[in-house]
């Protein structure tokens, strides 16, 4: 299945959560890569529900007295200008995004490496 979406800016919350060592460790264990500390948001022309797929999931945890919810992860291939990058759709249990926005993680900063900008169209292969 191929999903196409336009890159949009987020609030920067993905950067905060992906900087937490426990999240990084758990994601690395499931996906075999350490995610760049940030997400790339794609606005779709359809609703997307990760629960319709065989996703992976991290556990909830408590850090410094605060509860952090686990995330659902769906490994994907991200089509970029010169090839394909392994990454994942990351779906927090708590999110402000509608079902027409997905967040992508990868081992590199995709915006910087491929000079991606808001409005660029990206394809993700599930």
Q: Is 12 annotated as a binding residue?
A: yes
The annotation status of 111 as a binding-site residue, yes or no, is yes
Is 110 within any annotated ligand binding site? yes
Query: Is 103 labelled as part of a ligand binding site?
Result: yes
Q: Which residues pair with 102 in a beta bridge?
A: 42
CB 9 within 8 A of CB 80: no
Query: Is 24 labelled a binding residue?
Result: no
41 labeled binding residue? yes
How many other β-carbons are positioned within 10 Å of the β-carbon of residue 73? 22
> Is 108 marked within a binding site?
yes
Whole-angstrom Cα distance, residue 112 to residue 57? 28
Residue 102 marked ligand-binding: no
The annotation status of 70 as a binding-site residue, yes or no, is no
Alpha-carbon distance of 2 to 114, in angstroms, equals 20
Was 93 annotated as part of a binding site? no
Binding residues for CDP: 10-15, 108-111
Binding residues for Mg(2+): 39, 41
Binding residues for FMN: 95, 103
């Amino acid at each position: 299945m191929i999903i196409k979406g336009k890159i949009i800016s987020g609030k920067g919350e993905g950067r905060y959560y992906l900087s937490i060592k426990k999240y990084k460790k758990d994601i690395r264990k499931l996906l075999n890569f350490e995610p760049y500390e940030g997400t790339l948001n794609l606005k779709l022309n359809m609703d997307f529900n990760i629960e319709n797929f065989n996703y992976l999931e991290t556990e909830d945890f408590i850090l410094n007295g605060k509860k952090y919810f686990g995330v659902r992860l769906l490994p994907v291939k991200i089509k970029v200008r010169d090839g394909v990058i392994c990454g994942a759709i990351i779906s927090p249990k708590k999110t402000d995004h509608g079902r027409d926005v997905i967040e992508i993680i990868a081992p590199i900063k995709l915006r910087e490496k491929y000079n991606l900008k808001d409005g660029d169209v990206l394809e993700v292969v599930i």
